[in-house]
Structure 1
Amino acid sequence: MIFKSSIFLTFIFFPMLFFCQVKEVNPPAYIKTITFRGDTRESQLPLLKLGDYLVLEFDVLNGDESDFYYKIEHYDFDWRPSALAKPEFMDGFDNQRIRNYENSFNTYQVYSHYRLTIPNAQTKRLKVSGNYILSIFNNDNELMFSRKFMIYEDKASVGVSIKRTRDIQFIEQKQRVDITIASNTMHFKNPKQTVKTLVVQNNNLNTAISNLKPQYTIGNKLIYKYDTESSFWGGNEYLFFENKDVRAANTGIQSIDLKDIYHNYLFINTPRAHKPYTYNPDINGNYVVTSIGTENPNIEADYVWMHFALEANESLLNKSIHVYGNFNNYAIEESTKLYYDPDNDIFVNQMLLKQGFYNYKYVVVNENGSIDEGVISGNFYQTENDYKVIVYYRDLGARYDKIIGLGSGSSVNISN
């Protein structure tokens, strides 16, 4: 009887364990420069209109010209597998080999550059909106990495305005997002249950605010005017460097050296948390691969050891400090950690990055794993940040969450 009960409980709880929220998987050290985008040059969180194309590019530095395969899965709003079978959201097939790749040319670091475009001859189109994950496998069916993307339909208009927080305690440090959702083509039934939202700052899903409920309804218009629930820390403008010419010092680079490959040494950065805010144009954490004097930077841009340096002070000595940006999908890894150099009284890190223009900042990772961007960079309400609001809708009785609208806003014209 006990044995039968154990089997019964296993079958009850197994689906609960299996259908859990999925997370992106980061690549091994020999896979670099994962560029995931729509129709822009910058690597970003892909938010595509239904029918648009998606581009994934990445470099493999082992020189093996390995075979890689891709799979696509559809997910609900909360990143649990949706109820749709593959033919219901895809026209064609996945689990196909990535056929488009080239080897590097005239570089110190040998690599192979892979490019996948969807739709293609095998995967002809993705038929429905919603959340997706693109996963890359090697020849042994081992998962190398995965990336999230979203496809939306243009069925609702999404108004986004950025305001200063009304909380006096954080009025100099936080920004809040006000949202208005309206549609002329559909009627929102029971919107507090059927409509869900995701608010994303600077394409970073790690800090996104999810599932705000509409506060007011005026006709077929949904109004969101929260304060604390829709507030983000303002952060500070990203630091940046450009090394499109590895043989000469460029923006942000103090010196260069050629060993096995080129080494670029950045100027020592100082903590900005207690300094006045200074406007410094950036691309909000993104990066662009570029190199001077080349026809195709994808295979002619070289890899460089970038040496980061942060001025130390007593308050930071026991902190876990990392370099942070979209160059690795905002991941916190051992490769991004800074270590204290007592001889020079600075924190240092070296990271292998492809030539280009990069945004980055220094963040502190707390013991519970949370990320604090303000300890080193500070938080200022004036900081220019990009915001996107993604609106999901599941009608009563529907089997998956559609994305019915996308809105964007910038804090460059923030108001009270």
Structure 2
Amino acid sequence: MKSTIFLTLISLWLLGACTPLAQYQGNAGAATKVLRNIDYAYEPQIKTVVVRPAYGDPQAFLEPAVTRLGQWNLMLEFDDLHTARDNYYIRLVHCNRDWTKSDLQDLDFMTDFNELPINNAEFSVDTYIPYVHYWINLPAVKLPGNYLVVAYRGGDKNDIILSKRFMVYDTRVSFENERNLIGAGNIASLNQQINFTLSYKNLDIINPLESVNVAIRQNQRWDNIATDIKPSFVREIEKQLEYRFFDETKMFKGGNEFRFFDIRSLNSPGRNIASVNKMTKPVDVFVARDKSRAGEAYSQYVDYNGGFIPANLDYNSESFNNYANINFTLASKSLPGDVYVTGKFSQWNLDEQNKMTFDSAHQEYQATVLLKQGWYDYQYVVKSKTLPPYYLEGSHFETENSYEIFVYYKAFQPRADLLIGYIRLEKNER
């Protein structure tokens, strides 16, 4: 009897001794996370990561993560699919124009200590997947440029949960948008080009051809951004840089208007939803079966240029927003490459979370993505050595697109790429 009691006590002691070891291993695993200077969630339960203007209009979700120096109006928000609140912090990283970390120290670009706790949190209510919604206003910075906000757990900077890019610009140059000149033949039917002139009368730039760099982004996308664009003409007396893109390699593909679906209500699903299965938890939502739009004539309709707006029509509170498994199907033969369903909801990343698999029996591509209730734009992108990315969508110069021009200047002091100009242009705005 005594021996039995003794063995039982020993067993309980050993079980208790395992608990700190398991916790330690979890923290040690966080040290293996490597910071990527991109929009990225480092843990699968971190969802719907957004940096947007901090005002209540739902249209703010469609705005780019860009603000003017002196206007501190950007907010980071995200969901953590856990039942308990965690202790999260953020810090900022200053980056060069190519998003590599700059040589600046925190005190060079921060006005306060570079670590802030995320104090705002709200628990979901009666959702199939419980989650905690976090948000924080981004701190002020002293210099214009590219920035990365990094969130991490418990004050451990190695235990990263997300990274998100944003830009702060100054108005040291002015823009003159010129009449767009389109090339001949089928080049004109696929592409859109932007011509503009920069005036830097308020700056003393010795060698603008080398020290000034321009990047152009279409629909807030990172997967096809044009970088290190040099001027076609330099007028040093007038202090002007002229950008004219006549050849196809310096044009943007017009692409196509984005596909979309509406899951603001799970009780009364919206447009382009084929069915909803409420017997599963989380709910399974099936988007209407798609097909390739290659070779089709351009069709005009209003979209959000790849964006999304979380929303819930079943209840008045955002705390009731459910997450659902969104099932995509694309009728297609097998293609020589990988197919992805993407949009701002995937942070424009092409990875395993939004990669599609081919079903030979049904001759279709399939993917399931866990998304929050709302209105979503999306497209199918091909990653192939022989096919263009827009192979499944087609490309038209009539497509309505939003463009952003970023102007970077490599200053002598501080030795960093400063964002000295920014403008948004709408192509075929309606």
Scaled to the shorter chain, the TM-score interval is: 0.7 to 0.9
The amino acid across from 1:41 in the alignment is A
Instruction: List structure 1 runs of 4+ shifted beyond 6 angstroms.
Output: none
Asked if the contact 2:106/2:114 (under 8 Å) is kept, the reply is: no
Q: Secondary structure at the match of 1:114?
A: strand
Is 1:196 aligned to residue 233 of structure 2? no
Asked if the contact 1:161/1:409 (under 8 Å) is kept, the reply is: no
* Aligned match for 2:380, one of 352, 358, 362: 362
Asked if the contact 1:385/1:412 (under 8 Å) is kept, the reply is: yes
Shift of residue 98 of structure 1? Answer: 1.0
Q: Secondary structure at the match of 1:332?
A: coil
In structure 2, the CA distance between the partners of 1:241 and 1:409, relative to structure 1 (3 Å rule), is: same
Asked if the contact 2:265/2:312 (under 8 Å) is kept, the reply is: yes
Q: Distance in 2 between matches of 1:383 and 1:72?
A: 36
Q: Distance in 1 between matches of 2:174 and 2:122?
A: 42
Q: Distance in 2 between matches of 1:203 and 1:235?
A: 14
Q: Give the corresponding residue for 2:203.
A: 186
Asked if the contact 1:34/1:328 (under 8 Å) is kept, the reply is: no
Mean Cα deviation higher: 154-163 or 41-50:
154-163
Q: Distance in 1 between matches of 2:50 and 2:414?
A: 34
Q: Give the corresponding residue for 1:349.
A: 367
The amino acid across from 2:395 in the alignment is N
Q: Distance in 1 between matches of 2:105 and 2:251?
A: 37
Correspondences of 1:213-292 after superposition (within 5 Å):
213-218=230-235, 219-228=238-247, 229-258=249-278, 259-292=280-313
Q: Distance in 1 between matches of 2:82 and 2:220?
A: 30
The amino acid across from 1:357 in the alignment is W
Q: Give the corresponding residue for 1:42.
A: 61
Shift of residue 24 of structure 1? Answer: 4.2
Q: Distance in 2 between matches of 1:343 and 1:293?
A: 37
Asked if the contact 2:39/2:347 (under 8 Å) is kept, the reply is: no
Q: Give the corresponding residue for 2:347.
A: 329
Mean Cα deviation higher: 218-227 or 395-404:
395-404
Q: Give the corresponding residue for 2:145.
A: 130
Q: Distance in 2 between matches of 1:42 and 1:76?
A: 26
Mean Cα deviation higher: 388-397 or 251-260:
388-397
The amino acid across from 1:177 in the alignment is I
Q: Give the corresponding residue for 2:17.
A: none
Q: CA RMSD in A?
A: 2.3
The amino acid across from 2:228 in the alignment is N
**What's the TM-score once normalised by structure 2's chain length?**
0.84
Q: Give the corresponding residue for 2:410.
A: 394
In structure 2, the CA distance between the partners of 1:337 and 1:22, relative to structure 1 (3 Å rule), is: closer
Q: Give the corresponding residue for 1:31.
A: 46
Q: Distance in 2 between matches of 1:212 and 1:23?
A: 21
Q: Secondary structure at the match of 1:407?
A: strand
Structure with the largest fraction of strand: 1
Q: Secondary structure at the match of 2:83?
A: coil
In structure 2, the CA distance between the partners of 1:282 and 1:102, relative to structure 1 (3 Å rule), is: same
Q: Secondary structure at the match of 1:237?
A: coil
Q: Secondary structure at the match of 1:170?
A: helix
Unaligned residue ranges in structure 1 (runs of 5+): 1-19, 120-124
Q: Give the corresponding residue for 1:51.
A: 70
Asked if the contact 1:68/1:138 (under 8 Å) is kept, the reply is: yes
The amino acid across from 1:197 in the alignment is V
Q: Distance in 2 between matches of 1:78 and 1:350?
A: 32
* Aligned match for 1:382, one of 377, 398, 406: 398
CA deviations on 1:237-266 (whole Å, 9 max, x unpaired) are 110011111112211111111122322111
Q: Secondary structure at the match of 2:345?
A: helix
The amino acid across from 1:366 in the alignment is S
Give the paired residue count: 385
CA deviations on 1:278-322 (whole Å, 9 max, x unpaired) are 11211111111011143332x221111111111123xx3444211
Asked if the contact 1:194/1:396 (under 8 Å) is kept, the reply is: no
When Rg is computed on C-alpha atoms for both structures, the one with the higher figure is 2
Is 1:89 aligned to residue 109 of structure 2? yes
Q: Give the corresponding residue for 2:166.
A: 149
Identity score, percent: 26
Q: Distance in 1 between matches of 2:207 and 2:184?
A: 30
Unaligned residue ranges in structure 2 (runs of 5+): 1-34
Asked if the contact 1:164/1:174 (under 8 Å) is kept, the reply is: no
Q: Give the corresponding residue for 2:20.
A: none
Shift of residue 21 of structure 1? Answer: 9.2
Asked if the contact 1:159/1:407 (under 8 Å) is kept, the reply is: no
In structure 2, the CA distance between the partners of 1:54 and 1:76, relative to structure 1 (3 Å rule), is: same
Shift of residue 65 of structure 1? Answer: 1.7
Q: Secondary structure at the match of 2:137?
A: strand
Q: Distance in 1 between matches of 2:75 and 2:258?
A: 25
**What's the TM-score once normalised by structure 1's chain length?**
0.86
Q: Give the corresponding residue for 1:4.
A: none
